Amino acid sequence: MSDLILFWHRRDLRISDNTGLAAARQRSQKVVGVFCLDPNILERDDVAPVRVTYMIGCLQQLQQRYAQIGSQLLILQGEPREAIPALATALSAKAVFWNWDVEPYSQVRDRTVIESLKEKGIQVLEENWDQILHSPDDIFTGSNQPYTVFTPFWRNWSSKPKAAPADTLKDVEGLSEQELQTAKQAGAIALPTAKDLGFKWENGLVIEPGEAAAQERLEQFCHRAIEEYKEQRNFPANDGTSQLSAALKFGAIGIRTVWAATVEVMENTRSDEAQTSIRAWQQELAWREFYQHAMYHFPELEQGAYRQQFKNFPYENNEEYFQAWCEGRTGYPIVDAAMRQMNNIGWMHNRCRMIVANFLTKDLLIDPRLGEKYFYQRLIDGDLSANNGGWQWSASSGMDPKPIRIFNPASQAQKFDPEGEYIREWLLELRSFDTEELLSGNISKRDRAAVDYPDPIVDHKIQQRQFKLIYQQQRGDSVNS
Ligand SMILES: Cc1cc2nc3c(=O)[nH]c(=O)nc-3n(C[C@H](O)[C@H](O)[C@H](O)COP(=O)(O)OP(=O)(O)OC[C@H]3O[C@@H](n4cnc5c(N)ncnc54)[C@H](O)[C@@H]3O)c2cc1C
């Protein structure tokens, strides 16, 4: 009889191209999955109902995948440091394997689980990376330090060979009926719905959960859009990006599979333009890793600004302004359209994420941590490292060096939504206005009142001057806009 290995899934909700799972299968034929609904995560006040709904959908699909190959995915609910060792002990598991994570909470949690398992004589697989192409300890500067600037990171990271996708789990043995009973006694439960867990999301999912849907999305994107990515990626009204972020966050797709797909399209195209686009998309995957490595090496990023002059920045934090920003009622059409997109579907285009984050921090003078949390409460793809990196980049408080960027909402709209399609899609009350009015925001008080659309809550020109002044007082640096 084979030894039982439990594989603890966390943000790798798939059986294909999963490095830890493939390692478990190499060790034994009897591999059973487990997922733990962790109150330390689910009871935080920044959990997005849409994200939990997507995650539960991925877990449903994963249970089906395990059933198809003759094994099971068990669900636990409780403190991982108690629930995982209790299940492993009850089932006399030889080992518990899982993939490593960069997030500060995961690092602490995993150490307590390892301790508890080792005390019970159960083996673990340590330091196994799966969700990134290179371990954070593999990409260092010449002086052996973590990178704090993206471009040299990218040069180093992109020059390194990438691993091929890991073997898909197959030919496995699951638990017997009797062992399943034991698992239940040790805490295994039926998979709850998001609603059972107290999360209400009624707007449907714009991104279909699960491994098969993620694979299909990747194929579709690589079939066509990736070759036009550089051109299309900045226009929120167009379907020019992959929308793979939720799948990458929860690991519904393996990063090696994603990378291999980009290499394949690169090999099959001779057009310089297409190759530049594919490279641009690969670079986004590198940004994702840059932020994950940064979170691993500098866990204090979770608490706030990286740059010294932003650590005590005197943000005004006007509550009414913050509320208006959250609701998409600032009176700036491109900002409001973007916020309503996120509030409605739980996803926002990258260009718009940059616009609204810039607006909150530079025009409304509100602490980026408030915006970061609001995003996390709403996004289907909410990810600590990417969200923190995006907010710090937009607030100019992060690792990227000067210049300080101040976006003008009207110029952004004119450049990236030139027909006003995106604004019209999300601001129904402004649908019949002229494009010029939508883009510039030059709409009379009377016209605004007639459709119950607010006046601008601040004046961009005044606010940007104010921001620059405060910034210069803090440090005396120059500011570009
Ligand atoms: C303020 C702000 C907050 C953000 N919050 C998140 C977040 O919580 N979760 C998240 O996944 N992304 C976040 N991003 C990054 C980016 O906006 C999204 O990854 C992207 O919009 C997702 O759409 P896509 O999958 O179509 O991206 P594509 O353009 O197709 O990019 C492919 C993949 O690369 C990664 N990626 C792309 N851009 C970035 C980036 N700038 N930083 C890190 N990874 C990137 C994502 O995994 C994405 O799926 C944020 C950006 C900003 C400016």
ipTM score of the complex?
A: 0.99
- At 401 the pLDDT is 62
The tokens 């859009």 sit on which residue? Answer: 225
Q: Please, which residues bridge with residue 95 across strands? A: 5, 123
**Which pair of structure tokens corresponds to residue 286?**
């590198």
Taking the centre of ligand 1 as the mean of its atom positions, its distance from the CA of residue 299, in whole angstroms, is 20
Please name the residue whose Cα sits nearest to atom 31 of ligand 1: 284
Residues 407, 354 contacting (CB under 8 angstroms): yes
Ligand 1 pocket member 214 (CB < 6 A): no
- Ligand 1, pocket-test mutation among 381, 392, 416, most atoms within 8 A of CB: 381
Ligand 1 pocket member 379 (CB < 6 A): yes
Residues 236, 349 contacting (CB under 8 angstroms): yes
Which residue, among 47, 60, 76, 39, has the nearest Cα to 199 in the 3D structure? Answer: 47
- At 474 the pLDDT is 83
Which residues, including other chains, have CB under 8 Å from residue 346's CB and lie 6 or more apart? 48, 50, 51, 201, 203, 205, 206, 378, 379, 380
Ligand 1 pocket member 341 (CB < 6 A): no
Ligand 1 pocket member 109 (CB < 6 A): no
Give how far Cα 322 sits from Cα of 79, 306, 454, Å.
35, 23, 14
Burial classification of residue 209, based on how many CB atoms lie within 10 Å of its CB (0-12 exposed, 13-18 middle, 19 or more buried): buried
- Ligand 1, pocket-test mutation among 302, 339, 350, most atoms within 8 A of CB: 350
* Model confidence pLDDT, tens digit, residues 198-220: 999 999 999 999 999 999 999 99
Please name the residue whose Cα sits nearest to atom 16 of ligand 1: 350
Ligand 1 pocket member 342 (CB < 6 A): no
The widest CA-to-CA distance across the chain, in whole angstroms, is 79
Taking the centre of ligand 1 as the mean of its atom positions, its distance from the CA of residue 239, in whole angstroms, is 15
* Model confidence pLDDT, tens digit, residues 461-471: 999 999 999 99
Which residues, including other chains, have CB under 8 Å from residue 111's CB and lie 6 or more apart? none
The tokens 């159960």 sit on which residue? Answer: 122
Ligand 1 pocket member 389 (CB < 6 A): yes
Please name the residue whose Cα sits nearest to atom 19 of ligand 1: 245
- At 475 the pLDDT is 72
Whole-prediction pTM value?
Answer: 0.97
Give how far Cα 163 sits from Cα of 7, 131, 133, 261, 319, Å.
21, 12, 7, 13, 48
Which residue, among 359, 364, 320, has the nearest Cα to 337 in the 3D structure? Answer: 359
**Which ranges of the chain have pLDDT less than 50?**
478
- At 399 the pLDDT is 86
**Which pair of structure tokens corresponds to residue 237?**
């009204």
- At 400 the pLDDT is 72
Ligand 1 pocket member 293 (CB < 6 A): no
The tokens 């949690």 sit on which residue? Answer: 109
